[in-house]
């Protein structure tokens, strides 16, 4: 990435932009973060307490924040100067909590209160010299959001939006139905781009194959966002799968190959985001940009911040390299924030004016 390319991105970001209001749906969680320096020490402490019949593990840092992929993505978009339509389902108490946890400028006119509050405990720690977040969740309303939950007002927002992002499908027991019905309706009634981020399916793996067969292979998705684990799940469920992709999740050399396979077979743009680099892969092109070297304070929600940057870049019509650079910058600023606050557009501009070094191992991912 040359200085000239960065300066051109800064010029674009410094101009006012108005490309309509993207839609993000369908989940809101209350996230309870527990920060502990070492996974092994955390487990040792829990084992010690269990052996003595219970007790209290001290010296943890804890805080509560707004959560859910949809709400976090919407919050990150708002910080970047884009006002999204947020369509989520929670309880009445959940909506009260949401009002206290999100920015007051985030519009909540499409919050449904006919479900249960969704919760996650996110244990932020280190394991094998890598920052990890271990999430323990009660899916609540995120488990049963359906296309039939959408009102006529919701659908009007969806059909007039430039981009519709369906996220957090991993919690939904009927995720393939929701994705197929929503994206089919968009194809019939709208020109909106369709964006999907499934989330980690390891606790709900049965959704992956029908998402591939009924949604991706039918051409209903324009942009598929995935991390290194999720792209291997998709590759493993393709009819032409030629590797044991489940064993490739920890092999950096296989991640881009998985993205290429999914992009080629499904005719979709794959946005791959990993701790080391991000990539934009289509059936005919491929661009990778290394991640920035920053000290990570938190990792839960990093993918949502990255998605927000990529969505803004997509709607601005940025070329893939500048779009990935923008998304990487938003994610870097988020993970190095001890308060999990999403960066403002002005923060991103300042960051890019004097950016930290990029990581080296782009060659390991080819």
Beta-carbon contacts of 364 under 8 Å, excluding residues fewer than 6 positions away, are 252, 253, 276
Question: Is there a domain that residue 54 lies in?
Answer: no
Question: Is there a domain that residue 172 lies in?
Answer: yes
State the CATH number of the domain containing residue 238: 3.40.1190.20
Task: Determine contact, residues 114/52, Cβ cutoff 8 Å.
Answer: no
Question: Is there a domain that residue 76 lies in?
Answer: yes
Separation of first and last alpha carbons in the chain: 18
pLDDT of residue 365: 43
Q: How far apart are CA 255 and CA 245, in angstroms?
A: 9
Question: Is there a domain that residue 79 lies in?
Answer: yes
pLDDT of residue 192: 98
Q: How many CB atoms lie under 10 A from the CB of residue 298?
A: 21
| DSSP-derived 3-state class of residue 236 | helix
Question: Is there a domain that residue 47 lies in?
Answer: no
Beta-carbon contacts of 18 under 8 Å, excluding residues fewer than 6 positions away, are none
Question: Is there a domain that residue 22 lies in?
Answer: yes
Question: Is there a domain that residue 50 lies in?
Answer: no
Question: Is there a domain that residue 238 lies in?
Answer: yes
pLDDT of residue 360: 76
What is the extent of the structural domain holding 86?
Answer: 3-29+67-120+140-365
Apex 252 CA angle, 285 and 262, nearest 5: 40
pLDDT of residue 361: 55
Q: Per-residue confidence of the chain (366 residues) as pLDDT tens digits?
A: 688 889 999 999 999 888 999 999 999 999 999 999 999 999 999 999 999 999 999 989 999 999 999 999 999 999 999 999 999 999 999 999 999 999 999 999 999 999 999 999 999 999 998 888 898 999 999 999 999 999 999 999 999 999 999 999 999 999 999 999 999 999 999 999 999 999 999 999 999 999 999 999 999 999 999 999 999 999 999 998 778 899 888 899 999 999 999 999 999 999 999 999 999 999 999 999 999 999 888 777 899 999 999 999 999 999 999 999 999 999 999 999 888 889 999 999 999 999 999 987 554 444
Alpha carbon 78 to its chain's center:
15
Q: How far apart are CA 299 and CA 222, in angstroms?
A: 26
Structural domain total, the chain: 1
């Amino acid at each position: 990435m040359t200085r000239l390319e960065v300066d051109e991105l800064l010029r674009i970001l410094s101009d006012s932009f108005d490309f309509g209001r993207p839609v993000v749906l369908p989940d809101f969680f209350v996230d309870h973060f527990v920060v502990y320096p070492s996974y092994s020490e955390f487990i040792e402490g829990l084992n010690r307490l269990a052996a003595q019949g219970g007790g209290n593990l001290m010296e943890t840092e804890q805080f509560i924040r707004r959560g859910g992929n949809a709400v976090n993505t919407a919050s990150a978009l708002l910080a970047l100067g884009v006002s999204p339509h947020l369509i989520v389902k929670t309880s009445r108490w959940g909506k009260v909590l949401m009002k206290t946890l999100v920015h007051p400028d985030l519009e909540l006119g499409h919050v449904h209160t006919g479900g249960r509050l969704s919760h996650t405990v996110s244990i932020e720690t280190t394991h094998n010299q890598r920052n990890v977040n271990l999430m323990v969740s009660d899916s609540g309303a995120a488990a049963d959001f359906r296309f039939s939950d959408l009102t006529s007002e919701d659908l009007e927002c969806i059909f007039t939006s430039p981009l519709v992002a369906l996220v957090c499908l991993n919690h939904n027991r009927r995720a393939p139905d929701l994705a197929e019905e929503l994206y089919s309706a968009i194809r019939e009634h709208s020109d909106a781009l369709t964006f999907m981020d499934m989330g980690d399916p390891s606790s709900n793996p049965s959704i992956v194959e029908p998402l591939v067969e009924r949604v991706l292979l039918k051409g209903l998705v324009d942009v598929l966002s995935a991390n290194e684990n999720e792209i291997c799940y998709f590759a493993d469920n393709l009819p032409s799968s030629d590797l044991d992709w489940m064993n490739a999740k920890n092999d950096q050399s296989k991640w881009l190959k998985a993205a290429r396979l999914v992009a080629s077979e499904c005719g979709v743009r794959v946005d791959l985001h990993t701790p080391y680099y991000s990539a934009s892969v289509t059936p005919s092109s491929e661009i990778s940009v290394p991640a920035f070297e920053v000290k990570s304070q938190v990792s839960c929600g990093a993918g949502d911040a990255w998605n927000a940057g990529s969505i803004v870049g997509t709607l601005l019509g940025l070329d893939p390299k500048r779009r990935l650079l923008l998304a990487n910058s938003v994610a870097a600023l988020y993970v190095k924030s001890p308060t999990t606050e999403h960066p403002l557009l002005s923060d991103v501009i300042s960051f890019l004016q004097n950016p930290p070094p990029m990581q080296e191992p782009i060659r390991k991912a080819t």
